[in-house]
Each structure stands twice: as structure tokens, then as C-alpha cells.
Amino acid sequence: MSGHWGIVVSDPWLQNQFTQVELRSLKTHFMSMRRESGRLTIGDLASKMSRLKVVGENLSEEERASFIQDLHQNTDEDADFELFLKVYLKLQAFASSRIGSSPKNSSAFLKAATTTLLHTISESEKASYVEHINNYLAEDEFLKRYLPIDPSSNDLFEIAKDGVLLCKLINVAVPGTIDERAINTKRLLNPWERNENHTLCLNSAKAIGCTVVNIGTQDFIEGRRHLVLGLISQIIKIQLLADLNLKKTPQLVELIGDSKDMEELMSLPPEKILLRWMNFHLKKAGYKKIVTNFSSDVKDAEAYAHLLNVLAPEYTNPSTLAVKNPFERAKLVLEHADKMGCKRYLTARDIVEGSPNLNLAFVAHIFQLRNGLPTQTKQISLLETLPDDTQDSREERAFRLWINSLGNSTYINNVFEDVRNGWVLLETLEKVSPGIVNWKIANKPPIKMPFKKVENCNQVVKIGKQLKFSLVNIAGNDIVQGNKKLILAYLWQLMRYNILQLLKNLRYHSHGKEINDADILQWANSKVSSSGSQSRMDSFKDKSLSDGIFFLELLSSVQPRAVNWGLVTKGVTDEEKKMNATYIISIARKLGCSIFLLPEDITEVNQKMILTLTASIMYWFLKHPAEERTAGTSDSETVSNSTVDDSSSDSSLEENGNM
């Protein structure tokens, strides 16, 4: 594996320890260290490595120096890149052993980055996810020749190499995300067909809320187990938690007292709602403790015993609570769950060891199967008081997914709630325009004093004005108060600014000229016209766009083999329009566009989302040389990191990635 700066990693073992993104970021650090003093010795590494996250935060300079001295007697010797990587790996393992565990759980769910330099995977998690895949994809026409997968083998990672399995799993989690007509499903795929599947998978995973900042398509092709398992775990979690909201399960109003509590419930992440649901039933069972996590609080299996006794009293076994041994109790709990028809997701050993991922999956599955909430509830009337804000919620979804795709340190579950302290917006502004935030006056969460939140939001508004956003009569306090209309207006301008800056940076011939909406419109019409079509769009709110034909012709003009015209409908009926819209989104993601719109945004011609779609296609086109497009092959790393989240550059990866 060779580097961009003539640095070669020839050791096969070393090559296998790092993802492309990790290696690129470490190269940046190494070159920076070497530039500072003209050369880099082994002895310099102790002080220079302080800037690397795990090694710098958990070991003092003296500890690093002593450790390196034990490894290498001659510390005056020049350090090349391979030696630097070996020292880093050993220091990181040492730091991790000092704090008792890997600082990053390689297959942790949503909030953790999906990468780690300690490439361990949980065999128990792997077996659980394989069982899930075998169950939900058993009838899939393409995959059934490979299923069931043996959970004790590594077949999962081999089957995942062509990208089909992961695309199908995304559609199980959030049906309709990927138009399966866009997946390449031949028995033997060539390299660019496989790359297209991985690109489609990664961009679609982002579009359902997965964190994929540190994963490239090459990682799937090489079967990097910790990354594949990390993504699978996120997808399965999204599926299992899908019903934990008031829209899908209105009976959840039983957990609250009044409309104020309802606002709080609507702002909670699904994991927190699941804990609240669990504690609601435990209180009824007379259980005295409050469960606050899916690890240490459930290790003794007592909470599970009480929960299942409430939900399925017909299967109660008095021995479950009578036994003293937690492992024996855990086994009895799982017998109870089996009688309810609940797929386990975990073993008795996973319960007593406190596996957070598998315990969460277990409880979420119990909720799906039997939530114990009344179907006829007097409090449903509370739901009727909520405003119908379908358009707002669609925009909130798009902005939330976009912000999460940037790789900020904070994962957001609800835009209107999670931006109120200003921190997430400051992080996002920094990603979009590096160096624009004055971090000296920023207040990092948790923030208890309201005026500190106002200070953050005042800076957000000030920067917005600096970027020439239209912010008439908007003050920082409006964001703190959660004013939905103003928050959506700000985020749209921020997202649009990001897109226009990315395009400006690519169009070198513009000589610094600002790109505007009219330029994007003109480019799209020009591309479609040059392909011999009569189609055109008059504006981004042109109602004729609802049939999708213009965008299919645009995609075909930038990549002639992108569209299979045999699958395209005439776009006359609503159903035909939706089929075309779904196909457009999947084809664009398959090319490498990171987009967050829904088919309805095309069929209803949502002006903002139509602009982002067109700009993303333009960005992809300008970023890829003509010979690359016509050959049908492209650098997998470039494709997978395309469009709106491209501001996640090497430097920002160093701050917010795994370093």
C-alpha cells in the first residue's frame, strides 16, 4: 500500500492493521511531525505523539518515553513511517491495557465511530447478528443460495464482500431505502460493479442514520471484520429501535403525564425511551432499582425476571428470582423469553458479562414482540393536540442525517432539541468552514447555566451573518428556545452554503467566483441538452420535475451506464412517479452522491431538496475525471467519501475520528 507522499507500507501485517482513512490520517501526522524539525527520530516520538488521541490522552510523555526506550535502545535513529506505525500500535495497546479495555468498542452502536486500531470483534455479537441475518433474509431470492450462514465461521465477511448483503439488510431495517433494481446482483461481479454496491451501501447507510465517517469501500472488499461488523450492528440497531417513537407506537403516551412530558419524550433518543419503558413496567412489578443502562444494571438478570413476569405472567417460573447464581437466573430468563417466542440475541453469558449491544437488542426485541401497553388508551387525545408538521419533520430528518454524516463528536437524535445548546451547530460550522469558530469563547456540554447556551448560540448567529445568511430578527436565544422555523431556516442556509463552497472549490476555472443556484441550474440543463434530450427545468420548483425523467436523463448524461432505461416508467401515475424517484435516489447514491432526500421530495418537487440533489450530481461530475467516468471505474476511496460530507477532511478526521 503506497502513500500520497511517497511513503510505502510494505509490511503485509502492518497493511492489515489500518483502514485507508486511518492510514491517511496517520500519514498526515507523521509528515507534520517530520516537517517541524526537518527529521524525526525515535526519541522524538514520545513528545510528538501527544497529539494522537488515545496515546496522547492516556499516557504521559514520561510513560511514552520509557515505553519507547524499552522497545528501541538507539533513540537517535531516524523513524520511518513503518516504524512510526509499529510504535503507535504498541503504545495504543499499552494505553488500552492501562484503562482496562479498548477505548473504542470496535462494534459499538451508533454513537461511536465505526473504526478502531485494536481490531477485535465480539464472537458473541457476530453469532447474534448472523442469526438475525439468517432469520430476516432467508427468503431473499438472491441471498438464499448463501444462507443460512454458519455463525461459528467467518463466512459472513466473505458474503458481505460484494455489497449485496449489506444493501439488503439496510432495506430490512428501513424498507424502501434502496431501490433493489439499482443493486448489482450477478453471481460474479467485476471490481467496479462491486465498488458501486459498496458505494450505494455506504451512502444509504448514512441516509438511515449510521455513522460511516471512517469506512471506505476498500474496507468491505478486503473484508475488514471489525468495520463490517460495526456497520451491521448499527443497521440492526436501527431496525430494532424503529418502533420506539410516538408515531409508530402511540401507546407510549402511557409513559408520560402531560403534554410537557410528551415534548420531552419526543426529544429522547430511542435507547432512552426503551429504558423509560422498561422502568415503567419494573415499577409496576415492585422492582426498587432504576435501570440506567443495558450493561451493569442488568448483569444479575433480576430486572429481566421482573420485566418478563409483568409482560408474560403465564410463563412465570418462581425459581427465577429464588436462585442466587446470576448465571442460572439468566438461563431461566432466556427460557421465559423463548416461551414468549422472542429471538434471544444473547446468551446467559452475555447477560452476566453485561454486553451492552446484545442486551439492548434483546430488550428492543421484547418491546417489538410484547410491549405491554394498552392498545386503547385514554391519553391518545394528547397526540391529537400535536401539530401536523410533516414538511418540518422531513426537513429535520434531512438536516439531522447530514449533520451526523459530517463526523461531529456529538451524534444527534432530534435537531430541534439537540442544537439548542449551540455546540453541535458550532461543530458543524467548523466542519463547513474550518477555523471560523472562536473556540476560546465556546462552552462545551454539559452546560447547566442557560446564559452559556445563549453565548454559544449568539456566536452561531454571528458566524451565520459573517457567511451572509439571511438572519433578520434572529437572536441566539431563539435557538436556545427551540424555535423550529428559525432553526430549519438556519440549517438550510448552512447546508446550501456547504454545497456551494464544495462546488466553488472544485471549479478552479471560476477564479474564486461564487457559485450560485443559477449556475447549478444552468449546468444541469446544459448537461441534459448536450445528451440530445429536449428536457429542461425552469427552476428548482418546476412541477414537471415530479415525474423524475429530467434527473434520470441528467444522471445518464454524467455517467452513460448509470441508468437502465428498461426499468424507468413514464412517470404519469403517482405510483410510476414514486418508482422513478426511488430509482433516482439509489442511482445517485450508487455513483457516490451523499444525499438525504426522500422520494416524496422529488414527486412533490421540494425546492430545497431538488437543489441539493442537482448540486450533488454536479459535484460528483466535477470531482471525477472524464476517463474515470467513461471507464466505469473509479477510485473507491473518492467515490465513497463524495459530496456533502466531503468537508470531513484529513485534518478534521484527526480531531473527530479515531486519533
Which segment of 36-40, 115-119, 168-172, 512-516 scores lowest on mean pLDDT? 115-119
Number of H helices, E strands in the chain: 34, 0
For residue 560, pLDDT over 80 is answered with yes
Position with higher pLDDT, 173 vs 631:
173
Q: Which segments of 467-544 does DSSP mark as H helices, in order?
A: 476-480, 484-506, 517-530
Q: Identify the H or E element spanning 96.
A: helix 81-98
Cell triple for 48:
510528538
Mean pLDDT of 562-567: 94
Contact 595, 588 (CB under 8 A): yes
- pTM, rounded to two decimals: 0.77
102 pLDDT band, cuts 50/70/90, is very low
pLDDT confidence of residue 567: 94
Instruction: Output 142-147 pairs: Cβ under 8 A, ≥24 positions apart.
Output: 142/168, 142/185, 143/168
Q: Identify the H or E element spanning 320.
A: helix 319-322
CA distance 79 to 88: 12
For residue 388, pLDDT over 80 is answered with no
- The rounded mean pLDDT for the chain is 84
Position with higher pLDDT, 256 vs 499:
499
Nearest to 593 by CA among 216, 211, 209, 199: 199
Cell triple for 565:
432505461
Mean pLDDT of 287-301: 93
pLDDT confidence of residue 473: 84
Question: What letter does residue 2 receive in the DSSP assignment?
Answer: B
Nearest to 106 by CA among 122, 90, 91, 130: 122
For residue 15, pLDDT over 80 is answered with no
For residue 645, pLDDT over 90 is answered with no
Query: To the nearest whole percent, how much of the chain has pLDDT over 90?
Result: 56
DSSP secondary structure, 576-599, as one string: HHHHHHHHHHHHHHHHT------H
Nearest to 95 by CA among 48, 61, 44: 61
Q: Identify the three-state secondary structure at position 102.
A: coil
627 pLDDT band, cuts 50/70/90, is low
Q: Identify the three-state secondary structure at position 167.
A: helix
pLDDT confidence of residue 118: 45
247 CB-near residues (< 8 Å, 6+ apart) = none
Mean pLDDT of 366-373: 92
Main-chain dihedrals φ then ψ at residue 156, nearest 5 degrees: -50, -45
Helix 191-207 to helix 390-405 angle (10° resolution) is 120
Nearest to 393 by CA among 419, 414, 421, 417: 414
pLDDT confidence of residue 84: 86
